[in-house]
Chains A and B, each alone.
Chain A
Amino acid sequence: MDEQAPRLAVWKFASCDGCQLTLLDCEDELLSVAARLEIAYFLEASSAPGPGPYDLSLVEGSITTPEDLERIRHVRRVSRRLVTIGACATAGGVQALRDFAGVKEFASVVYARPDYIATLDRSTPISAHVPVDFELRGCPIDRRQLLEVISAFLAGRRPVVPAHSVCVECKARGNVCVMVAHGTPCLGPVTQAGCGALCPSFNRGCYGCFGPMESPNAAGLNHWLRGLGMSTPELVRIYRTYHATTEPFQRAAEEAEEHG
């Protein structure tokens, strides 16, 4: 391997490992990645943590413990570029649902000895604590987009990760709109593209796991979804999943409650 190859690190915080697995899932391309980058720290794939500094750090997971807070500052210090991967690292993830209730209460229900649990009141994205160079969305992230981010980093260009709606991809793929043709509620119009319109391709509505698109009009969509028969609790629930605390989706759920 080239002595000068840029060094890649992959870090994990509160998460399910699914986004890291996406990197392993790149199979053929992973060999190319390994040829162009030195994979210096990646516990999921190797047990030998390499010393910093790193040219590119991919960070999975949200910040949920006091220890996380220290560690993410360390990661930032040893990383030239820091890219968050996935909904947890970018938006707090599904575990940010704790923000809407008391975390102590949850802990007392879940754990036999809640006093052993040292956790923060909220699950927060990486960007709430350190500067982030790029945020890759998705729950989990899309493997093509991950490879694009790595390629773009190597080529010195802006990653081609459009912030427009899922609908653009859905139509390019040739899907029939599940909302118009089947009456299936779909968050595609307010959700950022990137997944290749996966769920609508299987006649399911979009669950919004890539988070809000660049100019989401959730109030406009909510009005129509009510017409399709969705109740207020259902509307609140569809926005309170992977990006519950991201401002546009948080507001969308509140808007649904206000007009309920």
Chain B
Amino acid sequence: MDAVVIESLEPLIAELRSRGFAVVGPVVRDGAIRFEEIASAGRLARGVTDDQEPGRYRLRETGDEMIFSFAASPDSAKRYTQPPRQALFRMRGERIEEAEEEAPRIALLGVRACDLAAIGVQDRVFLGGRHPDPAYRLRREALLLVAVNCAVPGGTCFCVSMGTGPRVTAGHDIALTELAAPHRFVVEIGSERGEEIVRALPRAPASARDQADAEEVSRTAAGRMGRQVETEGIQERLSAHDSPRWQQVGARCLTCANCTMVCPTCFCTTVEDSTSLADGTAERVERWDSCFTLGFSEVNGTPVRGSNPGRYRQWLTHKFSTWIDQFGMSGCVGCGRCITWCPVGIDVTEELANLP
């Protein structure tokens, strides 16, 4: 199906909801763009943009009618693909019962090319190895991805460097490009499921001008990256285990784990065991963990990575280098969240640039 144009998101949201999807889209809440369930397009953020820099995020009103004029939200798709806390099983007596898998159908409206790339990375981690995760698969299959081509990258974005954006090329069901004057959306299809939905919408074929305008959006966005990373030779640079740079960044790093929590690809977890006070039933849950905690590397009571520099080096090296050895792809998609949401503004692109 060729690209089409729609004038409003209302019919799309209604169509998704009628198909049993909870539609999760960008709204303004707590001074940020958050992703939450919406019932209509009226709830979507409108006329706001975000200013992002290391350790700082602010919304700013633009007064225009545009909905998607912002960059990465603090929320990524990870919350839906890999919830922060998941029950694994219960054990009572000699019986183990696996947690019942529930995967409500969710349509994520407004994910970006970097987010799609991140989902691709997580797919590789949770489904690509010898121990595929059936619960992840269920959640993943219940997820419909309505992507939006980035128009206004943030000050901490570097998807162009990581080869993941700004234009959506894969992993989506539907891709939108928001255009102004007149306000409209160019719609491209990424899957059969997506096509079925778009066919049900009031639409017009995209004109040559619509398509040219849409391409211009991505071209302009690509030229406005706030950050960049030289990926050539990056594994070699990250093999400098003894660089004094690690000590310098380690002195700034709070080891608070925020970067790993906001990262859309960081997948590390730990498990917690509990016992019911009422009847002694044992339960095991898996929850987000971080390589910045001391318990993460603890062996016989002593952490392998006890120092701040050691833990920072592990995070950066894994993300940009050893991930490639492990999964055949970089762990970084260039969304910039770790830079913006570091409470003391540590910038991975700067750290990488300063390695020998």
Physical contact A–B (CB less than 8 Å): yes
For A186, the chain B residues whose CB sits under 8 A away are 343
Residue of A nearest to B31 (CB): A181
Q: Are B251 and A214 in contact (CB under 8 A)?
A: no
Q: Are B256 and A165 in contact (CB under 8 A)?
A: yes
For B31, the chain A residues whose CB sits under 8 A away are 176, 181-182
Q: Which of B94-102, B200-208, B268-276 contacts A (4 or more CB under 8 A)?
A: B268-276
Chain A, residues 96-114, CB within 8 Å of chain B (1/0): the string is: 0000000000000000000
A164 touching B257 in the complex, CB below 8 Å, given contacts A155-B275, A172-B84: yes
Q: Are A203 and B30 in contact (CB under 8 A)?
A: yes
Chain B, residues 311-345, CB within 8 Å of chain A (1/0): the string is: 00000000000000000000000000000111111
Q: Is A4 an interface residue (CB 8 A)?
A: no
Q: Is A250 an interface residue (CB 8 A)?
A: no
Q: Which of A139-186 contact B (CB under 8 A)?
A: 147-148, 150-152, 154-155, 157, 160, 162-165, 167-168, 171-177, 179-183, 186
Nearest Cβ in chain B — how far from A256, in angstroms? 15
Q: Which of A17-25, A123-131, A219-227 contacts B (4 or more CB under 8 A)?
A: A219-227
Q: Is B92 an interface residue (CB 8 A)?
A: no
Chain B, residues 263-300, CB within 8 Å of chain A (1/0): the string is: 00000000011111110101000011010111100000
Q: Which of A201-260 contact B (CB under 8 A)?
A: 203, 213-217, 219-221, 223-224
Q: Which of A19-75 contact B (CB under 8 A)?
A: 29, 32-33, 35-36
Nearest Cβ in chain B — how far from A178, in angstroms? 8
Q: A203 CA to B30 CA in the complex, in Å?
A: 8
Q: A217 CA to B278 CA in the complex, in Å?
A: 40
Q: Which of B53-61, B62-70, B132-140 contacts A (4 or more CB under 8 A)?
A: B53-61
Interface residues on A, range: 35 or more
Q: A176 CA to B262 CA in the complex, in Å?
A: 10
Q: Is A190 an interface residue (CB 8 A)?
A: yes
Q: Known pairs A171-B261, A217-B252; list 4 more (Cβ under 8 Å).
A: A162-B295, A164-B290, A164-B295, A167-B258
Per the CB 8 Å criterion, the residue count for chain B at the interface is 47
Q: Is B194 an interface residue (CB 8 A)?
A: no
Q: Are B344 and A160 in contact (CB under 8 A)?
A: no
Nearest Cβ in chain B — how far from A117, in angstroms? 42
Give the one of A150, A173, A214 with max B CB within 10 A: A214
Q: Are A165 and B253 in contact (CB under 8 A)?
A: no
Q: Is B85 an interface residue (CB 8 A)?
A: yes
Q: A163 CA to B253 CA in the complex, in Å?
A: 17
Q: Are B79 and A174 in contact (CB under 8 A)?
A: yes
Name the 6 nearest CB pairs between A and B, nearest first. Answer: A171-B261, A189-B256, A172-B84, A32-B277, A165-B256, A189-B254
Q: A179 CA to B252 CA in the complex, in Å?
A: 16
Chain B, residues 191-217, CB within 8 Å of chain A (1/0): the string is: 000000000000000000000000000
For B282, the chain A residues whose CB sits under 8 A away are 155
Q: Is B308 an interface residue (CB 8 A)?
A: yes
Give the one of A152, A182, A189, A216 with max B CB within 10 A: A189
For B261, the chain A residues whose CB sits under 8 A away are 167-168, 171-172
Q: Are B344 and A221 in contact (CB under 8 A)?
A: yes
Which residue in A29, A155, A224 is a CB contact (below 8 Å) of B55?
A224
Q: A188 CA to B274 CA in the complex, in Å?
A: 26
Q: Are A224 and B343 in contact (CB under 8 A)?
A: yes
Chain B, residues 65-88, CB within 8 Å of chain A (1/0): the string is: 000000000110001000011000
Q: Is B118 an interface residue (CB 8 A)?
A: no
Q: A60 CA to B342 CA in the complex, in Å?
A: 36
Nearest Cβ in chain B — how far from A79, in angstroms? 21
Which residue in B29, B30, B344 is a CB contact (below 8 Å) of A224?
B344
* Interface pairs (28), CB distance under 8 Å: A151-B277, A154-B277, A160-B274, A162-B293, A163-B293, A164-B257, A164-B294, A165-B254, A167-B257, A167-B258, A167-B261, A167-B343, A168-B290, A171-B258, A172-B288, A174-B75, A176-B32, A176-B74, A177-B258, A177-B341, A181-B31, A181-B74, A182-B31, A190-B256, A217-B252, A220-B344, A223-B252, A224-B55
For A189, the chain B residues whose CB sits under 8 A away are 254, 256, 258, 343-344
For A215, the chain B residues whose CB sits under 8 A away are 255, 294, 308
Q: Are B32 and A181 in contact (CB under 8 A)?
A: yes
Q: Is B34 an interface residue (CB 8 A)?
A: yes
Nearest Cβ in chain A — how far from B334, in angstroms? 19
Q: A11 CA to B293 CA in the complex, in Å?
A: 33
Q: A147 CA to B278 CA in the complex, in Å?
A: 11
Q: A221 CA to B254 CA in the complex, in Å?
A: 7
Q: A216 CA to B274 CA in the complex, in Å?
A: 28
For B258, the chain A residues whose CB sits under 8 A away are 167, 171, 177, 189
Q: Are B277 and A150 in contact (CB under 8 A)?
A: yes
